[in-house]
Amino acid sequence: MLRLRDIMTKDVLTVSPEMSLRDAMAMLATRHVSGAPVVDAGQVVGVISSTDLLEVAASEPNAPVARAHAASATDDLTVAAVMTRAVVSLRPGTPVTQAAHHMRRAGVHRVLVMHGYRLLGIVTTKDIANAVADNKLTERKYISLPHEAVEAPGWQ
């Protein structure tokens, strides 16, 4: 059975709550990721995602003066001001299929893999899609018949 520890990214990009939104956006764009855990003094305090950033952009009025000052809004706001404080995390031994159901119910695209308060890794919908595409979620079940073992098709 495939578990989160088998597919998680261990080298997790993190941002600090004091970082400006502009710097956070640049960091996410440079690494080609859509979100990152927010860590303060070694503790996960939230998650910043492209959804959070789009909500900030959508809240700006459409007036020409506001558009002219939009760049300063991302400089003036910090990650702490817009991050999601409710962190979705699971343990490293969680089966990937269970994590996928959990992510769907929570409406999130990433789950932090944590042991207690310690961040171990991150699993995104892309990681799960890659596992499916690579046939890593196939399970095999064996049934015993008299005098022989027969492989039964598993579920995918």
Structure tokens at 15: 């941002």
User: For 71-101, how does the pLDDT look when each residue is reduced to its tens digit (9 = 90+)?
Assistant: 556 667 899 999 999 898 999 999 999 999 9
Q: What is the domain range of residue 63?
A: 4-152
Structure tokens at 16: 């600090």
User: For 58-75, how does the pLDDT look when each residue is reduced to its tens digit (9 = 90+)?
Assistant: 776 654 444 444 555 666
Dist CA 150 CA 12 (whole Å) = 42
What integer pLDDT is reported at residue 72 of this predicted model? 56
What integer pLDDT is reported at residue 54 of this predicted model? 85
Q: How far is CA 151 from the centre of its chain?
A: 36
CATH of residue 112: 3.10.580.10
Total domains in the chain come to 1
Structure tokens at 30: 């440079």
